[in-house]
Chains A and B, each alone.
With several copies, the nearest count.
Chain A
């Protein structure tokens, strides 16, 4: 279940509670994102959301002919910062539910909470912790984002288990579901981690200035768009 929670799996009260948490959390992120990005927020965040959506369609081989796809929560957080990243992923989740019928409408709060709040923020915290332990190089940033992305996938499955324990309707014990979910997600986490690390490393190679999580490495003026100063254009 590296995917959306459907209607009916978690009972109504829990879903509604998650909805309140999700709405509050995304509201806070929007305010923070607005402070960080001002009026450029709309096109930049919109394009980042479109990127996350497209990246989720990139299949990668797992093993023996099966393939997985990227979830992208930590990728977004490392690239554009946790607040903007969370908003971008929330937009993706809402659009998928309403425009593509992907993920239940009544479970929208749960899905936003898991994918747009728990994953990016949990992962970003882990990323910051790892980054602090490693030498300040681009390789460290890529490696930290990969490990954090893998960790965040497991964290999301843990969040699901908690939600299931509170309001699950499945008829299996939360422990059983939890063990199975986390077991499956450890495998998915490896793929997510490898792809996230490689993707971050690719961005660092061409536009290091665009990687939020690598700001501590200092400004980079080597790329033409940064040189044009368009980023600060008014």
Chain B
């Protein structure tokens, strides 16, 4: 793959009641890049995510993934290329066992038999959940469910990985384990979050989304050092935290 993995141009979307959710969003993410999309709740982060694989369709502007325009006709291929890990792992794990869940995506792509099993094993291995195939999701800890949710997407061998609030409800140990997993992946990754320290740890670059617009784009450490910018967009670092203190 060459050039931008994700190319968003002039993307607009309004809710049915007319309130704008996204207003002319432009964003390029290079192949292999890891970018955080920061913003307060209600900024339009989730709406943006749902455009990346065509669950929502742009009302104006366009989204391209690896050069392919996201549109109803390309839907199947786009959904293979872009894997989304949703905020609540219970929404993502809907099959009776871990193995069935991790197999769901590739099975929809037509993968079967031995090849399917291999995908399941490989994806679980990456997230450190090898050997848990036969378990039911409700027997896993919350942190384990989050990592299995990542595996359900990795098994589709996506080009772009999108994580929506990956740290919500995680305790410090589970947070660390997930960061360790994500750091080993060499995929193009978008981390949509309001957890600023996590963004700093994982993503060299960040954009700030507020009120449906990209209002800042730059190295994460620089953005987080700009307290005024953060405050303007209802973001702030926890007290006691300093981005230059590593």
Which residues does A use to contact B, with CB under 8 Å? 43, 201-202, 205-207, 221-224, 226-229, 233-234
Query: Which of the 9-residue segments B11-19, B200-208, B229-237 touches chain A?
Result: B11-19
Name the B residues within 8 Å of A205 (CB-CB).
96-97, 136
Name the B residues within 8 Å of A221 (CB-CB).
16-17
Interface contacts (Cβ under 8 Å), in number, total: 36
Extra contacts besides A206-B136, A222-B17 (10): CB < 8 Å: A43-B94, A206-B137, A206-B138, A221-B16, A227-B15, A227-B17, A227-B19, A229-B15, A229-B16, A233-B50
Q: Please judge, given known A-B contacts A43-B94, A206-B96, A233-B56, whether A224 and B139 are in contact too, CB under 8 Å.
A: yes
Interface residues of B in 42-89 (CB under 8 A from A): 47, 50, 55-56, 72
User: How many angstroms from the CA of A207 to the CA of B15 in the assembled complex?
Assistant: 17
27 of the cross-chain contacts (CB-CB < 8 Å) are A43-B94, A201-B96, A202-B94, A202-B95, A202-B96, A205-B96, A205-B97, A205-B136, A206-B96, A206-B136, A206-B137, A206-B138, A206-B139, A207-B138, A222-B17, A222-B139, A223-B138, A223-B139, A224-B139, A226-B16, A227-B17, A227-B19, A228-B15, A228-B47, A229-B15, A233-B50, A234-B72
Question: Nearest Cβ distance between residue A225 and chain B, in whole angstroms?
Answer: 9
Question: Nearest Cβ distance between residue B48 and chain A, in whole angstroms?
Answer: 13
User: How many angstroms from the CA of A43 to the CA of B50 in the assembled complex?
Assistant: 19
Question: Nearest Cβ distance between residue A187 and chain B, in whole angstroms?
Answer: 26
Interface residues of B in 24-41 (CB under 8 A from A): none
Q: Would you call the interface of chain A mostly helix, strand, loop, or mixed?
A: helix
User: How many angstroms from the CA of A205 to the CA of B136 in the assembled complex?
Assistant: 7
Name the B residues within 8 Å of A223 (CB-CB).
138-139
Closest B-chain residue to A228, C-beta based?
B15
Number of residues from B at the complex interface, CB < 8 A? 17
User: How many angstroms from the CA of A138 to the CA of B17 in the assembled complex?
Assistant: 22
Closest B-chain residue to A202, C-beta based?
B96
User: How many angstroms from the CA of A224 to the CA of B17 in the assembled complex?
Assistant: 10
User: How many angstroms from the CA of A27 to the CA of B139 in the assembled complex?
Assistant: 34
Closest B-chain residue to A46, C-beta based?
B94
User: How many angstroms from the CA of A112 to the CA of B15 in the assembled complex?
Assistant: 36
Name the B residues within 8 Å of A43 (CB-CB).
94
Question: Nearest Cβ distance between residue A223 and chain B, in whole angstroms?
Answer: 6
Name the B residues within 8 Å of A234 (CB-CB).
55, 72
Interface centre among A43, A202, A207, A234 (most CB of B within 10 A): A234
Name the A residues within 8 Å of B95 (CB-CB).
202
User: How many angstroms from the CA of A222 to the CA of B47 in the assembled complex?
Assistant: 18
Interface residues of B in 187-228 (CB under 8 A from A): none
Interface string of B117-156 (1 = CB under 8 A from A): 0000000000000000000111100000000000000000
Closest A-chain residue to B100, C-beta based?
A205
Name the B residues within 8 Å of A229 (CB-CB).
15-16, 56
Name the A residues within 8 Å of B19 (CB-CB).
227
Closest A-chain residue to B97, C-beta based?
A205
Closest B-chain residue to A203, C-beta based?
B96
Query: Do B16 and A227 have beta carbons less than 8 Å apart?
Result: yes
Question: Nearest Cβ distance between residue A49 and chain B, in whole angstroms?
Answer: 14
User: How many angstroms from the CA of A190 to the CA of B189 in the assembled complex?
Assistant: 44
User: How many angstroms from the CA of A202 to the CA of B138 in the assembled complex?
Assistant: 11
Interface string of B93-127 (1 = CB under 8 A from A): 01111000000000000000000000000000000
Closest B-chain residue to A207, C-beta based?
B138
Closest A-chain residue to B72, C-beta based?
A234
Name the B residues within 8 Å of A222 (CB-CB).
17, 139
User: How many angstroms from the CA of A141 to the CA of B202 in the assembled complex?
Assistant: 48
Interface residues of B in 148-201 (CB under 8 A from A): none
User: How many angstroms from the CA of A43 to the CA of B138 in the assembled complex?
Assistant: 17
Question: Nearest Cβ distance between residue B55 and chain A, in whole angstroms?
Answer: 5
Name the B residues within 8 Å of A202 (CB-CB).
94-96
Query: Do A233 and B55 have beta carbons less than 8 Å apart?
Result: yes
Interface centre among A201, A202, A228 (most CB of B within 10 A): A228
User: How many angstroms from the CA of A231 to the CA of B139 in the assembled complex?
Assistant: 17
Question: Nearest Cβ distance between residue B88 and chain A, in whole angstroms?
Answer: 13
Name the A residues within 8 Å of B50 (CB-CB).
233
Query: Which 3 A-B pairs give the minimum distances between C-beta atoms?
Result: A205-B96, A206-B138, A227-B15
Closest A-chain residue to B136, C-beta based?
A206
User: How many angstroms from the CA of A223 to the CA of B139 in the assembled complex?
Assistant: 6
Closest A-chain residue to B138, C-beta based?
A206
Question: Nearest Cβ distance between residue A48 and chain B, in whole angstroms?
Answer: 15
